A = this chain, B = another copy of it.
Amino acid sequence: MNILILSVGTRTKIVQYFKETLNGNGRVVATDMSELAPAVYEADKFYQVPRITDEGYIDVIFDICKKENINAVLSLIDPELSLLAENENTFKELGVTVVGSPFELCEISLDKFKMYKWLVEHGYKCAKSFMSFKDFKNSGVNYPVFVKPVKGSASIAIAKADDEETAKFLFEQRDDMMIQEYLKGQEIGADVYIDMISGEIISIFTKKKIIMRAGETDKAVSFKDDELFTLIEKFVKEAGYKGQIDIDIFDVDGEYYISEVNPRFGGGYPHAYESGCNYMELIINNIEDKENKKNIGSYDDGIYMMKYNELMIRK
């Protein structure tokens, strides 16, 4: 059982957890375009690869799969998820399972406005979003609002606007900007695993986010709420996600609003793992053709996670 993790970057924990779970029964191979990605030094083998947008990139990945007898491949960055899904059949011919969601869902999840429309059509509560300033003005949505790129990540270029002048100014800075209702509530993160054989939701781990930094959760605390679990199960099943995903949710006065989905390991996943939700094991079972059993909420309330910096030194 050899696992290939693409674009590992600084996600050393994901590599470590796979190694820990494989426990010698297989190897973890990692790629990145930079040899200054600390996570590559945790892997059993590292390949420095071209930029994902470079021509021929996917062929380099296919070659690594053949050479290293890879059984499963996953990526840790959003723009690569669609690429893997798109090439699922070629991977299958090589005996490689793509751990991820279908192509169309990856595309929807990457585009905040497409996601918004999907959520509204299917009757889920979510922040009202606009691609036209006129539509926003006519909507009656109050300030403050968020102005953000429709396909952004890591909070890059996201700004809060308190009045029309600011909102208009920010909206006109780039062509791909979207205006979004500002939800005032508790931000929640959910790590979810959907069995790749049965399609059933196997595990859900939810946490309240306490402090954010550069779009990532710095501190969080685990909690459990059956109502939220039911909502997540319904949403994830209806959408059709597969494998591990990460969902951002807001609790606004006791009502849950779905904000975003990343169909990959989220930056806060280590909190779930350290609290007993080992999704590496669930993935490995699926690759070995074993279905996982439903086991939702098998962790303790009130487990706190605090991030800090570690460093790697290389000459």
Contacts and interface: CB of A to CB of B under 8 A. Distances in A.
Nearest to A37: B306
A49 B210 CA distance: 19
Contacts of A305: 311-313
Interface stretch (A142-150, A194-202, A269-277): A269-277
Interface in A299-313: 300, 302-313
B38 A313 contact: no
Contact of A313 (B173, B218, B267, B303): B303
Contact of A304 (B10, B210, B314): B314
A274 B300 CA distance: 37
A271 B307 contact: no
A247 to B, nearest CB: 20
A224 interface: no
A223 to B, nearest CB: 13
A308 B12 contact: yes
Nearest to A314: B304
A125 interface: no
A36 interface: yes
Contact of A311 (B13, B211, B311): B13
B210 A213 contact: no
Contact of A306 (B219, B274, B303, B312): B312
Contacts of A173: 166
B10 A306 contact: yes
Nearest to A173: B166
Contacts of A267: 309
B308 A313 contact: no
Nearest to A271: B311
Nearest to A310: B310
Contact of A38 (B166, B210, B303, B308): B308
A308 B311 contact: yes
B36 A306 contact: yes
Contacts of A315: 300, 302-304
Given A11-B308, A38-B307, 15 more contacts: A12-B309, A13-B309, A36-B210, A36-B306, A166-B173, A214-B214, A267-B309, A270-B311, A275-B313, A300-B315, A302-B315, A306-B312, A307-B311, A308-B309, A309-B310
27 contacts: A10-B218, A10-B309, A11-B308, A12-B309, A13-B309, A13-B311, A36-B304, A38-B306, A38-B307, A169-B169, A270-B309, A270-B311, A274-B313, A275-B313, A303-B313, A303-B314, A303-B315, A305-B311, A305-B312, A305-B313, A307-B309, A307-B311, A307-B312, A308-B309, A308-B310, A308-B312, A310-B310
Interface of A: 10-13, 36-39, 166, 169, 173, 210-211, 213-214, 218-219, 267, 270-271, 274-275, 300, 302-315
